[in-house]
Structure 1
């Protein structure tokens, strides 16, 4: 009896052990599957860090303005008699543009000229007669004063007549005319804008710390939204004589060649100034930099094998970006694999899978290509 019970207990122990082993194996497989689901490899894009020539830059934004620019108006009032230009014309200095009715002023000028001519004859006669004491010196002096006064009145009237004619004060391009023939114009009414467009200025501001890095004649490049991807070259032509006490910035002016005249006054522009010496330094795409409360960092790939590896955070020191690229002065060595996309949710040690089938091109001076 005891022997039979022993055999039964042994059989039951074997059965329980088998069931426990099966359950343990299932639990292990389930835990492994759940672990794989919790931390699957993250698909990322990468590049290999390389050294490239790099030169530091100062960046700013500014506005374009003409070397000479004015909204033309007349000093006198009157009715428009003739318009001698069309909107958008290129004009030369001194070219007549508009004439007001000036009949009364011209007639008065002719009258004053006649008086002046008569006074000149009287003075000439007095000078002949005084030789024979036929007139007194006082008479001659009085007649000479009358002649000077008459000639002054003639010059004054000529100026009034000139004020009825609008002439281009400098060469440039006209805008859209704002008046019509027969219209009465008050003094100071804007008639048309005139802008000298080649060369053209760009005014911008830099922090006072930049004063030691800029000099007259230094090269600058500018870009405008109207011509994306195109760069315009110029030189610094002036630096303001004082720093703005409110912002601690200083105004700088650069001169840019503008032939053909595609850049127009009032345009917004971005300006870059190369400073310092060119050096070989590690550069990576700007998208590889992750901003963090403790500083900028990148994710490197460790243990790379068959397109997979593990993520590793690395804090970096950088210089100001240029275009789509940024220079890293500390934290990355040439040849290391740097993530440029898909790294937002990664942590140290996260598994990653590399897919570089759609890596965008990162350039220092990107340009737009028509498709």
Structure 2
């Protein structure tokens, strides 16, 4: 076997050294690049660690423990304690109108005067006949005492007097009916007649409503009948005054149960001193039963809803790694129940006095730092800007 020539040995040695130098150069170049990348990543991580943690402003309040009465809910329609269309029972021509639409009136106050000139003339004639009949009767009674006239003649004069008296009474009543007054204290509606208009008996003149007390009629299931009694408390709300509630009592319970529906009619009574309630309003009613229980409630705005259940955010005080006092939130699944007057009953998952977030939940997750601020949504500003 031939030995390699000296020239080939030298070339092989030179190429080995070149490869070594290239390898060392590559390592140096890529090592520098990797060092810069690592240094940049380390600096970024350090900056992130030193950056301030974002804090979300929220409003919050403690969950409350309340007496929660059991309620029976219903829907009803309001009507006035008394309300009618004022009409006339006799025909006649409208001579005077003595009221304005929407006016408050008292019982007996004259509203309309119908023309009664003919009736007054007839009454004057009847009164003259009555005067003559009375004189004849008195004269006959005097003569009868001395037997100067017969008993039959006296009875005839007595009859004539009574007929004349009845005619006067009838004409007086007819004239009185031509004066149409308010049947009770109340508020008038819109006028439906004009001066000079001829009215037939029964034509409406104006509506009058006694708004001092309102009645509401509603139905409840017969299964709740044993829990109801006259005088029981009722709470009512209406769409016209959504933030207000009205307290009343049960005034009557229908003795007959509807066989088709199994419902029983109930009537409630509400004082209406300010006249806020009006006939025809729809009302949401809650009959307050005597049984009560202690429950935990939160504002409706504190509840968030998802496919996995209802949840709230609980605000908790703690300390950061630096020792700084911080407030964070915990997302907690709860079981919510009945809703009343802007609050929700919490059946499971929450205790009284735990602080729940009431607004600002969209930016939250478990562990988010928060700052609890004052809720000024409904606060009236001290100075109203002038345009």
TM score, norm. by length of structure 1: 0.69
CA gap of 1:8–1:276, structure 2 versus 1, over 3 A, is: farther
Matched with 1:53 is 66
Whether contact under 8 Å (1:62, 1:202) holds in the other structure is no
Whether contact under 8 Å (2:80, 2:209) holds in the other structure is yes
Alignment of 1:178-189 (within 5 A): 178-189=192-203
Alignment of 1:65-104 (within 5 A): 65-85=79-99, 90-104=104-118
Aligned match for 1:170, one of 184, 187, 191:
184
- Distance in 1, matches of 2:59 and 2:211, equals 46
Superposed CA offset, 1:247-279 (max 9, x none): 957443223151x55554445655555444554
CA RMSD after TM alignment? 4.9
Runs of 5+ consecutive residues of structure 2 not aligned to the other structure? 1-12, 320-324, 383-387
CA gap of 1:303–1:206, structure 2 versus 1, over 3 A, is: farther
Whether contact under 8 Å (2:313, 2:329) holds in the other structure is no
Between Structure 1 and Structure 2, whose CA radius of gyration is higher? Answer: 2
Superposed CA offset, 1:334-365 (max 9, x none): 3544332233476xx6552313224358xxxx
Matched with 1:364 is none
Aligned length: 355
Matched with 1:201 is 214
Matched with 2:371 is 355
CA gap of 1:333–1:224, structure 2 versus 1, over 3 A, is: closer
Aligned match for 2:340, one of 311, 321, 328:
321
Residue 339 in 1 paired to residue 357 in 2? yes
Aligned match for 1:192, one of 199, 206, 211:
206
Residue 256 in 1 paired to residue 271 in 2? yes
Whether contact under 8 Å (1:173, 1:196) holds in the other structure is yes
Runs of 5+ consecutive residues of structure 1 not aligned to the other structure? 35-39, 362-366
CA gap of 1:106–1:76, structure 2 versus 1, over 3 A, is: same
CA gap of 1:53–1:103, structure 2 versus 1, over 3 A, is: same
Tell me the SS of whatever aligns to 1:287: helix
TM score, norm. by length of structure 2: 0.67
Superposed CA offset, 1:181-232 (max 9, x none): 433333333323333232x114153542654554322334455677775654
